[in-house]
Amino acid sequence: MKKVLQITLGIVTSVGGFLEIGSVTTAAQAGAAFRYQLLWAVLLGTICLIFLVEMSGRLAAVSKHTIVEATRERFGFPFFFIVLIGMVAISFLVLVAELGGIGLSLQILTGIGFPWWAIPVSFIVWLLMWKGTFGLIENGASLLGLVTLAFVVAAVKLHPDWGTAAHGLLPSFPGDQKAKYWFVAVSILGASISPYLMYFYSSGAIEDEWDETYIPVNRFIATFGMSLGGFLSMAVLVVAALVFYPKGIDIQKFEQASMLLTTALPKWGFFLFAMSMLFACLGAALEISLAIAYFFAQGFGWNWGEDLVPSRDSRFCFTYTIIIMAAAIPLLFGVDPIKVTIISMALTSAALPLAIVPFLFLMNDPIYLGKHRNGWVSNTVVAIVVLISFVLAVISIPLEIIGS
Amino acid sequence: MDSIQSWLATAELVGEAWLRHTTPDKYSRQTLELSRETLLQISSDLLKSPPHSVDSASLDSILTRSRVSVAQMARLIQAKDAPDFGRQLDSLRADQKLVKQLSDRIESRQ
The ranges assigned to domains in chain B are 2-109
Residue B110 has pLDDT above 70, yes or no: no
The predicted-structure confidence for A207-235, as pLDDT tens digits, reads as follows: 888 999 999 999 999 998 899 889 999 99
Distance in Å, alpha carbon of B97 to nearest chain A alpha carbon: 12
Distance in Å, alpha carbon of A272 to nearest chain B alpha carbon: 11
B60 pLDDT tier (thresholds 50, 70, 90): confident
Residue A134 has pLDDT above 90, yes or no: no
* Correct CATH for A2-403 of 1.10.4160.10, 1.10.3720.10, 1.20.120.1770, 3.30.300.10: 1.10.4160.10
Residues of chain A with pLDDT > 70, as a percent, come to 97
Average pLDDT, chain A: 90
The predicted-structure confidence for B13-47, as pLDDT tens digits, reads as follows: 999 999 999 999 999 999 999 999 999 999 888 88
**Taking the CA of residue A146 as centre, how many other CA atoms within 13 Å lie in the half-sphere pointing to its CB?**
10
pLDDT in the model for residue A207: 87
Residue A306 has pLDDT above 80, yes or no: no
pTM summary value: 0.93
pLDDT in the model for residue A404: 52
Mean pLDDT of B57-68: 88
A54 pLDDT tier (thresholds 50, 70, 90): very high
Record: contact A258-B27, CB cut-off 8 A: yes
Record: contact A258-B2, CB cut-off 8 A: no
Average pLDDT, chain B: 89
Query: At A179, which amino acid appears?
Result: A
Distance in Å, alpha carbon of A244 to nearest chain B alpha carbon: 9
CB pairs < 8 Å spanning A and B: 52
In sign, the C-alpha dihedral spanning A347, A348, A349, A354 is positive
Record: contact A259-B23, CB cut-off 8 A: yes
The predicted-structure confidence for A347-387, as pLDDT tens digits, reads as follows: 888 888 888 888 999 999 999 999 999 999 989 988 888 88
pLDDT in the model for residue A400: 64
pLDDT in the model for residue A402: 64
Q: Give chain B positions within 8 Å (CB) of A253.
A: 34
Burial, B83: exposed, middle or buried (Cβ in 10 Å; 0-12, 13-18, 19+)? exposed
Residue B85 has pLDDT above 70, yes or no: yes
Which residues does A contribute to its contact with B (CB < 8 Å)? Answer: 108-111, 243, 247-250, 252-253, 255-256, 258-259, 262, 266-267, 269-270
Higher pLDDT pick, A115 / A342: A115
Judge contact between B69 and B93, C-beta under 8 A.
Answer: no
d(CA A196, CA A379): 20
